[in-house]
Amino acid sequence: MTNTVVVSSAIRGRARLRVRALRQQRPLALRLRDRLSADDRVRQVQASEITGSVLVFFDATRLGLDELLQRVAREAAAYRPHSAAGAAEGVSSELPPAADAIAWHTQAAADVMRSLNDTPEVGLSAEEAERRLLTSGPNRLPAPQPKSAFEIIREQIGSLPVLLLGGAAVASIATGGLVDGAAILAVIAINAAIGYATESRVERILASLNEVGVSMAFVRRDGRERLVPRAELAPGDVMLLRPGHDVPADGRLIEVRALQTDESALTGESVPVLKSLKAVAARDAGVADRTNMVYAGTVVADGAGEAIVTATGKRTELGRIRTLVSEAKAPRTPLERQLDDTGRQLAYASFGLCGGLFVLGVLRGLPAFGVFRTAASLAVAAVPEGLPTVATTTMALGMRRMLERRTLVRRLAAVESLGSTTVICVDKTGTVTENRMTVGRWHVAGRDYAQDMLAGGVIDLALARALAIAVLCNEAALTVGADGTTEVSGSATEGALLVAARAGGVDAAVLRKSHPLVTMLPRAEGRNWMGSLHAANGHRLVAVKGAPEEVLRGSVRWLTADGEVDLDRASR
């Protein structure tokens, strides 16, 4: 029997394949999704270890069905289940035991390399990376488990007012009021249906977000720089860190070139952290103090560097946080507590009054069953059937409005808490901004220019020279989409300069092509400026930008409204 076959391919660019080895093998399903999605000819991949099928949407003009089938068959044939891999190949993990518990920040870079990868200039081989990946598992953060339909419905009917309605319905039916009981049960069903439809929609959106795209990472393997799916990173891999790139896993730095990372996701500090290779003595040092480490979930703000992966997936600092968050139980919202309090007060009042009525009727010699039916009817009437439905419907409308504003609210009852929030107190401002910088004004040759004045193009030669320096002495990149939107990769400061230069009519790509970069001296500790050397029509051009006092210290002339003049001490 063939291991991989085509089940359906009637629609062009869509194929469903049956893979025998996929059944009950979740790692293989993840492997197929990651490996196939890395191909730009593949649009979407869905692999199910339950049915053993793989659904692939692809560009049929560039990728043939036969080639796709062979690719899936090769991936499935190369996969070895965890339990069989070690026995078949005699492979045992070459990593130190409990690798995630080692305080890598206390060790020298040379010791870390001896433990995980003694040839960082070459990196891991593809075979070694595959073996380590079988031991460490995919480099994925633990995904939160979506709420089941039963959990959603249970939350909708588990509140005290709804339980009171259920009790009232039972009492009404028991005393012969079938119509009233059926009406109350219908109200409960409508309430549960509204809540389920609203929350299940959000759960589907959250689940789809986890399937969007395949994150990639720059690593060095087999002596070459390669772009691999982030999920395939293994301890010992050499990560290549560049401005604007996300850090794909936790790692110990082995090389830094003015490297700065934005660690606000972990520490809350909005200012980028300058990294170094020096070992940190304190074993219990906080994440913010481990300046020789980089962590998954952070972003390279400036500079460059290399790091050896020390932890992946749930063993990373971000993975530990997500695990703790998933184990925490969310407190009840103020609205839930108020509804329960209201339901409790109604229960006490109705049971007290109806119980007193029943006792009083029996003492007066009335038929006990008739008195009981009267008391039960009053109890049913005392419970407001519309309260849960009105509350649920109102919150569902609020969740819908939040969704229209591109905000997902997972719990229906949390909408009320968000709606009643009037003041948010934070200890910093940097962590609640858009993390986007813009140029406001230019001061060039003794004149001030507002940035919006550049809309019609560069105003004079002095400003044009300033914009050219801002573009050339710059490591960021600017991408302009077909719809005119701009996307910046690199530090926020350098990206703002590129955007400002573009507004002044300077095409960064054209300018950099006419002035090719020869070498660049980045910022470093103790040097708050950077410089770049460019070739320009047979000449050399040096562009410098940085802290004013340091740039002025190295300058001998400056540009004024009257032209270039000597920069004397008073002017400086």
Q: What is the pLDDT along the chain (572 residues), one digit of tens a residue?
A: 457 888 888 888 889 898 888 887 877 887 788 778 777 788 888 888 777 888 888 888 888 898 888 888 888 887 766 443 333 333 333 444 444 457 899 999 999 998 898 889 999 998 888 888 888 888 888 766 667 778 778 777 777 777 777 887 787 787 777 887 788 788 888 878 887 887 787 777 766 666 555 678 999 999 999 989 988 999 999 999 988 888 999 999 999 988 889 888 888 777 788 899 999 988 888 888 899 999 998 999 888 899 999 999 888 998 888 887 777 677 777 777 787 788 778 778 877 888 888 888 888 888 887 787 777 777 767 777 667 777 778 888 888 888 888 788 877 777 877 777 888 777 655 556 666 788 989 988 888 888 888 776 666 888 888 999 999 999 888 887 777 777 887 777 888 999 889 888 888 889 999 999 999 888 776 788 999 999 988 889 999 999 898 899 889 988 887 788 888 888 88
Predicted pLDDT of residue 497: 92
Going along the chain from its start, the domains and CATH numbers come out as 4-79 (3.30.1360.40), 441-566 (3.40.1110.10)
Note whether 335 and 155 are within 8 A (CB). no
DSSP three-state, residue 448: strand
DSSP three-state, residue 409: coil
- pTM score, two decimals? 0.57
Positive or negative CA dihedral for 142, 145, 146, 152? Answer: negative
d(CA 134, CA 235) in angstroms, rounded, equals: 11
Backbone angles phi, psi at 76, to 5 degrees: -70, -40
What would the two tokens of residue 87 be?
Answer: 């026995």
Cβ neighbours for 348, distance < 8 A, ≥ 6 positions apart: none
| Helix-, strand-, coil-residue percentages of the chain, each rounded to 5 | 45, 20, 35
Burial class (CB in 10 A: 0-12, 13-18, 19+), 275: buried
CA dihedral 184, 188, 190, 195 (to 10 degrees): 160
Q: Is 427 a catalytic residue?
A: yes
DSSP three-state, residue 534: strand
Long-range contacts of 436-442 (CB under 8 A, 24+ apart): 436/492, 436/496, 437/492, 437/493, 437/495, 437/496, 438/496, 438/499, 438/500, 439/496, 439/497, 439/499, 439/500, 442/466, 442/500
d(CA 298, CA 459) in angstroms, rounded, equals: 39
Residue 542 Cα distances to 284, 441, 495, 546, angstroms:
45, 24, 20, 13
Predicted pLDDT of residue 210: 62
| Residue type (1 letter), 348 | Y
Cα 54 to chain centroid distance, Å, stands at 26
Name the residue among 78, 81, 79, 31 with its Cα closest to residue 54.
Answer: 31
Predicted pLDDT of residue 473: 93
DSSP three-state, residue 136: helix
d(CA 62, CA 58) in angstroms, rounded, equals: 9
What would the two tokens of residue 196 be?
Answer: 């389920």
Q: Of residues 427, 562, 566, 568, which has the active-site annotation?
A: 427
Helices and strands: H and E segment counts in the chain? 18, 20
Predicted pLDDT of residue 185: 84
Note whether 212 and 192 are within 8 A (CB). no
d(CA 396, CA 400) in angstroms, rounded, equals: 6
Positive or negative CA dihedral for 484, 490, 493, 498? Answer: negative
| The length of the chain, given as a count of residues | 572
